[in-house]
Structure 1
Amino acid sequence: MITYITQHTQLPKIAVQNTINLLNDACTVPFISRYRKEATGNLDEVQIGEIVKYKELFEALEKRKATILKALEEQEVLSSELKQKIETVKDLTTLEDLYLPYKKSRKTKAEKARQNGLEPLAKIIMAQNANDVESIAIKYVKGAINSVDDALEGARHIIAEWVNERTDIRNNIRYQLERFATISTKVVKTKSSDEAAQKFKDYFDWEENLSRIPSHRLLAILRAEKEGFIRVKIEIDDERALNKIESRIIKSNNDCAQQIEQAIKDAYKRLLLPSLSNEALQVAKEKADDAAISVFAKNLKQLLLGSPLGEKRVLAIDPGFRTGCKVVCLDAQGQLKYNETIYPHAPKNDSLGAMKKISSLADAYKIEAIAIGNGTASRETEALIRKIRFKNDIQVFVVSEAGASIYSASKIAREEFPNYDVTVRGAVSIGRRLQDPLAELVKIDAKSIGVGQYQHDVDQSKLQKALESVVENCVNAVGVNINTASKSLLSYVSGIGPKLAENILNYRSENGAFPSRNAIKKVPRLGDKAFEQAAAFLRIKDAENPLDDSAVHPESYGLVENMAKDLGKSVQDLIGNKELLQNINLKNYCTDSVGLPTLQDIVKELEKPGLDIREQAKVFTFNQNVKTINDLHEGQLLPGIVNNITNFGCFVDVGIKESGLIHVSNLSDGFVKDVNEHVHLHQQVIVKVLDVDIPRKRIQLKLHK
């Protein structure tokens, strides 16, 4: 396993070995990357994630080997040579090729020919020594074989199967597919006029090299095929492929060679090309999936680590026209204090009454910020709010509603607000997203947040695993206040999980706030291992020990106390005192298990304990003269917010229903390798309008430097 992982990751052997030992000891990726740097050689969570990935791939390979070896033993065909080949194979494709001759269906043409006694004839032909094959084939005309042609056809079916099973031939065709295959599409004429087909119009007649097709395009083509609008074909140069096979097999120029040539064509057309072109498409799809999942994961990370406003009192509005705007007031901890519906827009148009109501609620609940959902009637509601003259300075934010409706109808929302309907829950979610995006977004299935591309077309289990890993890493990077966190947030803390999160909430409701990290050990079923993994990621505000509100692990408290004692100070004196901390000679505190990486992390944390790694939320205002796509024109400069990132560019919200696209070629004057190097999710940008296609509702933008 260690050799397999190091070959794929190029990471040091000792680091891989130690990481595997920690993983086997039920340690989590966030814990290992943060608190076991000496053991791993300072690997980060991405590198440790790669070790986890290849560990799982190796284990899957070994499991498949065991299944195949057992099957071959039961068939009594497992020679010592075959066993050694299987045991030393390093990838699933080669393993399945080795197993291919032994997993025949009883219904193949070749098997039927064998049952009719034609295998000896096939062997004679393959030996390529006979000049008059027909005279030999006459001997096999018996039973179900009625003619020489039947006999020769059956022998060719057996030869075709042998050709299909040759690993060298399969690998040669794989190589040609990998290097030279084209993917082409043709529209299904009966479906070409369907309205749903129009979004795939670009792919009604398309051809491209399979190895060069971008992830998003391949996924779009495969979706169009799945929905029945186009047919997809994978092709290579058949003549070249056949010549390559023939040169490996045909060594004569007689009757046998002619029969073998026919068998090769049959094997290629009926067995090799359909199977291996599907395999090549599947490999390309897996690569496209990985690329799309990587984009999704990057976007999700940026979204989760979005700027929080913090513990401020918020009035949140879920805007609407006919059904009105749902208004909620939240305290600094996100608890619902009041809710009401106002009707400032058509058809009721009670803007004056709505403004008075908002103003009085802002006074009554000492509101510090207003959050407006960015869906229907968002711009109109924002304009209304900005007309109100509040007594205090109140910041106004437009907040993404992506996934809020999913949350409002979820089991989590029902448990939180059993006595309120979905509209109230949705408005609460909008307000809480402003206070702390991470704490609120973890309650929603990440796939519903709507960042990335073609998330429903990629491998769902791979996507789920990748996104859960992102959420886990983000939650632990920020840290969690155990006395205010929801069950959803706590369940992502290293070592906790849903069941322990529930136990923590039950203990908290029965016994009140946790006074210290040590008190966490009193939670039922939270043992020493869970405490080791979780404690440093859980924060206790206003604890007696100031380290309980920091990322310093309890196992290192003694070290910090020694540092303070050696300086003749208290631990409290060290907190935030950069001058004092710089006087510490860290080498004096190195031990066999604690080295400089951990000590440097401790000092950095002591300088700013519990510091939120996220930026503070900033107010943003769209161009008030732009309300619809009809207000846009070429050359216009507009403020906008990046609301999605893909491999081909990013989408920007300029304050109207339709988001505009900054194509990768318009992000920079130079070559753009990675979109994320130029923009990040929710970044406030200035864009230039390049083109407006009103019928297709498409907007082309350029990033304005």
Structure 2
Amino acid sequence: MTKLQYILKATQLNENSIKNTLSLLDEDATIPFISRYRKEQTGGLDEVKIGLIVKHKLAFEELEKRKQTILKAIEEQGQLTDVLRDKIEKTSDLAILEDIYLPYKKKRKTKASVARELGLEPLAKIIMAQQDNSVESSADRFVKGDVSSIDKALEGARFIIAEWINENEYVRKKIRRLYSRKASIKSTIIKSKKEEESAQKYQQYFDWEEPLYKTPSHRLLAILRAEKEGFVRVKIEADKEEALDMIDDTIIKNNASSSCSDQIFKAGEDAYKRLLQPAIANEILKEAKLKADEKAIEVFSNNLRQLLLASPLGEKRVLAIDPGFKSGCKVVCLDEKGDLKHNENIYPHPPQREVTPAIKKIKSLVNAYKIEAIAIGNGTASRETEAFIKKIAFTSDIQVFVVNEAGASVYSASKVAREEFPNYDVTVRGAVSIGRRLSDPLAELVKIDPKSIGVGQYQHDVDQTLLKNELDTVVMSCVNTIGVNVNTASAPLLSYVSGIGKTIAENIVAYRTKEGSIQSRAELKKVPRLGNKAFEQSAGFFRIRDGKNPLDNSAVHPERYQLVEQITKDLGITLSNLIANKDAISKINKQKYITDEVGLPTLEDIIKELEKPGVDPREKARVFEFAKDITKIEDLKAGMKLPGLVNNITNFGCFVDIGIKQSGLVHISKLANKFVSDPNEVVKLNQQVMVTVVEVDLQRKRIQLSMID
């Protein structure tokens, strides 16, 4: 099976689309570049479908790599026949490939290998021939040396037969199918741990059993976390009798002697209990865990995408506050570009209660730095700080925002933050991060490990390589969807631009620092190591405001500038007069410009950009007001209706920030008046919602909410 055939079977996508996409990937083209600028070649495949091709491309390459390793190992043993080679080369399933290889695998010392050393393999073959009517008589011939009795001889032969049964690919296929369809997962409490306080969060899994295939991803990950933390034991089981019947049906012949079949049956029981059951159960659990990981990663990815594409305030002068009680509130002033202009502390809260000096200081800073908006972190003392700020009578209209500060402390202690602000401590860096998040969430959040942002579920329990790869893909997608201002973007943000990476991003920052600014996309070719390939992949995603060419601030790729120039010439107007001129744009005859390289999809993308060049597709940030009298969990009562912000989405519902330290859970069954299979059908991250308090558990600090009208 070729790579193309493998991916075609797995994805059911158009064959030419797959073939051309693979060709582009082999040329080191990125997913954002392919989906945006090579639509004619891919048949208009979006990032998700191209990502699917990439996933199966890597799977095929791993399969082929494993095949070569196995072929080499068997060949070195001198056992590789043409039939076996053909069988291995035609296999497209990794589990079946491992089944084929199992008999040839080098083994540590086993019960079967010991029996072979005692010379009992001929007896095992006699039994497996299933024609001997007196196995005991045959076994008597092998009683010598360390084989002290007929029973010992038969036992040794059964160990060898058990190994053969375990290595029989048809048996393994049947048992695997049984476990796939009918296995159950069972968890039981470790008695010595039952009374521990930390075990109580897993109480529902102290005695739990359900079909494995029905277990939702979040529940499986919770059970496995409970096992990892040492509170429960987990077993994967299927019906033993059904499994043994499958083994017998495969191994025992219809005309087998009863003497032989009895021994084979016993060997089958031993093979199942000691070899097959543990291996297949582990394999099925591993497969279920992988699916659960993928589902959890998908949830995390969806949340991260929504968070990164959250509404920006834009280039405004911001006063940001990292609130606190005893240590005071750290205040920073940022200009339109997010550069730090001033920082100091105020102490409006207990124990100092320096309210009047704090008011004077804030008013002074707002006037001195011409502040247009105030950002307050949503951590400790957030609501109190918000109330304090809103009591101040400013001379201009100042918008006040509460900003999610999850991960700000991680950023403030990071290498990136130390390099940005080498002369300031972590409190200043954290406050700067809060202010910048209001101006542009995407530009600031790319500096933080996505796992620290606090959206998703079980992100520390899933496969970390899978998680990192997927989250990096999401960040790259978001960055390239929006586009990046090459003259203001940080190195971490630039590194996610298609085709750039960490080294070239740092070179861009160094180049613009030296030269003052970059005036055109073409000038990017002067940046060290930014060669033709990197330029092709990245240029369309860079934005240069007020540059020499208006198209440099659009998503029109430089490779199509000549086409746009021809359009302007044909219309008899200048480029400046064409941009945003709907009347002139409506006169473009699309068919006239279609060629082998440029099709209708690319033309329509170009026209869309000419209509609104450089427009940020994100909505602008809006001020949100929490309920004024609710500041702590003790203020809540069942039946209260409150405004809130969705701050996390999981498979089982969503969490809503209602203005206190603890977020409340809206279970999936309480999201709407109809059945909901996926919370994303109803809510989005940062969505403003009205919720009803259903239950408040003060002891466990848990809040149950409802969105049902």
TM-score range, shorter chain: over 0.9
Number of paired residues? 705
Equivalent position of 1:590 in the other structure = 594
- Contact in 1 for aligned 2:322/2:331 (Cα 8 Å): yes
2:7 corresponding residue in structure 1: 5
Q: CA deviation at 1:391?
A: 0.5
Match of 2:36 in 1: 34
Distance 1:71 1:241 in 2: 32
Deviations 1:647-699 (A, max 9, x none): 11100000011111111111122221221121111111111112222222221
Q: Give the superposition deviation at 1:104.
A: 3.8
Tell me which residue corresponds to 1:426: 430
Alignment partner of 2:700 out of 686, 696, 699: 696
Determine the structure 1 residue equivalent to 2:283.
279
Larger deviation: 238-247 or 394-403?
Answer: 238-247
Corresponding residue of 1:622: 626
Is residue 181 of structure 2 the alignment partner of residue 179 of structure 1?
Answer: yes
1:123 maps onto 2:113 in alignment:
no
Q: Equivalences for 1:195-214 in 2 at 5 Å?
A: 195-214=197-216
Look up the match of 1:441. Answer: 445
Q: Indicate conservation of the 8 Å contact 2:585/2:611, yes or no.
A: yes
Q: Does 1:324 align with 2:328?
A: yes
- Aligned counterpart, 1:518: 522
Aligned ranges for residues 55-134 of structure 1 at < 5 Å? 55-134=57-136
1:299 to 300, 303, 306: 303
Name 1:507's counterpart in structure 2: 511
- Tell me how far 1:250 sits from its aligned partner: 2.1
Q: Following the alignment from structure 1 to structure 2, what is the Cα–Cα distance between the partners of residues 432 and 593?
A: 41
Give the Cα–Cα distance (whole angstroms) in 2 for the partners of residues 256 and 557 of structure 1: 82
Contact 1:22 1:32 in 2 (8 A): yes
Q: Which residue identity lines up with residue 37 of structure 1 in the other structure?
A: K
Which residues of 2 match residues 624-703 of structure 1 at below 5 A?
624-703=628-707
8 Å contact from structure 1 (residues 622, 654) kept in 2: yes
In structure 2, give the amino acid aligned to 1:175. Answer: R
Deviation at 1:704, TM superposition (A): 4.9
Whether 1:542 and 2:546 are equivalent positions in the alignment is: yes
2:389 corresponds to 1:395: no
Letter in 1 for 2:125: K
CA deviation vs aligned residue, 1:115-146 (integer Å, no higher than 9, x gap): 11111100111111111111111111123212
Matched, 1:452 2:445: no
Name the residue aligned to 1:310. 314
Which piece of structure 1 moves more, 91-100 or 126-135?
Answer: 126-135
Q: What percent of counterpart residues are identical?
A: 64
Q: Counterpart of 1:531? A: 535
Deviation readout 1:231-254 (Å, 9 max, x if unpaired): 011111111111121122223351
Return the offset for 1:544. Answer: 1.7
Separation in structure 2 between the aligned mates of residue 351 and residue 75 of structure 1, nearest angstrom: 83
Q: 1:612 aligns with which of 616, 621, 628?
A: 616
Contact 2:170–2:250 (8 Å) recurs in 1: no
CA distance in 2, matches of 1:143, 1:522: 83
2:474 corresponds to which residue? Answer: 470
- Indicate the residue corresponding to 1:376 in structure 2: 380
Q: 1:21 — aligned with what?
A: 23
Please tell me whether the aligned partners of residues 686 and 704 of structure 1 are also in contact (alpha carbons under 8 angstroms).
no
Whether contact under 8 Å (2:455, 2:648) holds in the other structure is yes
What is residue 486 of structure 2 aligned with on the other side? 482
How far residue 355 of structure 1 moved from its aligned partner, in angstroms, is 1.5
Distance of 2:57 and 2:644 partners within structure 1: 43
CA deviation digits over 1:327-348, x for unaligned, max 9? 0000010000000011111111
Measured in 1, the distance between the counterparts of 2:658 and 2:108 equals 63
Assess if the C-alpha contact under 8 Å between 2:670 and 2:708 holds in 1.
no
* Whole-Å separation in 2 of the counterparts to 1:589 and 1:531: 25
- Unaligned residue ranges in structure 2 (runs of 5+): none
Deviation at 1:272, TM superposition (A): 0.4
Query: Higher mean Cα deviation, 334-343 or 694-703?
Result: 694-703
Other-structure match for 1:225: 227
Counterpart-to-counterpart distance in 2, 1:115 and 1:92: 32
Aligned residues of 2:672 and 2:708 also touching (Cα < 8 A): no
Per-residue CA deviation, residues 253-288 of structure 1 (Å, 9 max, x unaligned), is 511111111100000000000110011111110010
Q: Deviations over 1:358-415 (max 9, x none)?
A: 1111111100000000000100100100100101000000000111000000000000
**Cα distance in structure 2, aligned partners of 1:503 and 1:244:** 64
SS of residue paired to 2:316 = coil
1:244 correspondence with 2:246: yes
CA contact (8 A) 1:216 1:292 kept: yes
CA distance, structure 2, for counterparts of residue 487 and residue 510 of structure 1 = 15
- Cα displacement (A) at 1:106: 3.7
Q: Is the 8 A contact 2:319 2:371 kept in 1?
A: yes
**Partners of 1:403 and 1:468 in 2: CA distance:** 17
Is the 1:188–1:231 contact (alpha carbons within 8 Å) kept by the matching residues of 2? yes
What is the alpha-carbon root mean square deviation over aligned residues? Answer: 0.9
Q: Structure 1 stretch 31-40 or stretch 235-244: which is displaced more?
A: 235-244
Q: Which 4+ residue blocks in structure 1 deviate beyond 4 angstroms?
A: none
CA distance in structure 1 between the partners assigned to 2:131 and 2:333 by the alignment = 92
Distance in 1, matches of 2:571 and 2:275, equals 78
- Return the letter of the residue paired with 1:118: L
Find the aligned partners of 1:607 and 1:38 in 2 and give their Cα distance: 22
Task: Give the counterpart letter for 2:648 in structure 1.
Answer: N
Distance in 2 of aligned mates of 1:701 and 1:227: 29
Secondary structure in 2 aligned to 1:547? Answer: helix
Higher mean Cα deviation, 356-365 or 289-298? Answer: 356-365
Q: Distance in 2 between matches of 1:669 and 1:22?
A: 47
User: Per-residue deviation at 1:574?
Assistant: 1.1
Q: Distance between the aligned counterparts of 2:72 and 2:208, measured in 1?
A: 46
Structure 2 contact 476–498 (Cα < 8 Å) conserved: yes
The one-letter amino acid of 2:29's match is: C
Residue 213 of structure 2 aligns to a residue whose secondary structure is coil
Amino acid at match of 1:506: A
Partner of 1:334: 338
CA-to-partner distance for each residue in 1:571-595, whole Å, 9 max, x for gaps?
1111111121111111100011000
Q: Is the 8 A contact 2:131 2:257 kept in 1?
A: no
Q: Which amino acid aligns with 1:15?
A: S
* 1:34 partner amino acid: R
Q: Which residue pairs with 2:193 in the alignment? A: 191
Quick one: which amino acid aligns to residue 99 of structure 2?
Answer: D
CA distance in structure 2 between the partners assigned to 1:244 and 1:7 by the alignment: 30
Read off the aligned partner of 2:14 and give its amino acid letter.
P
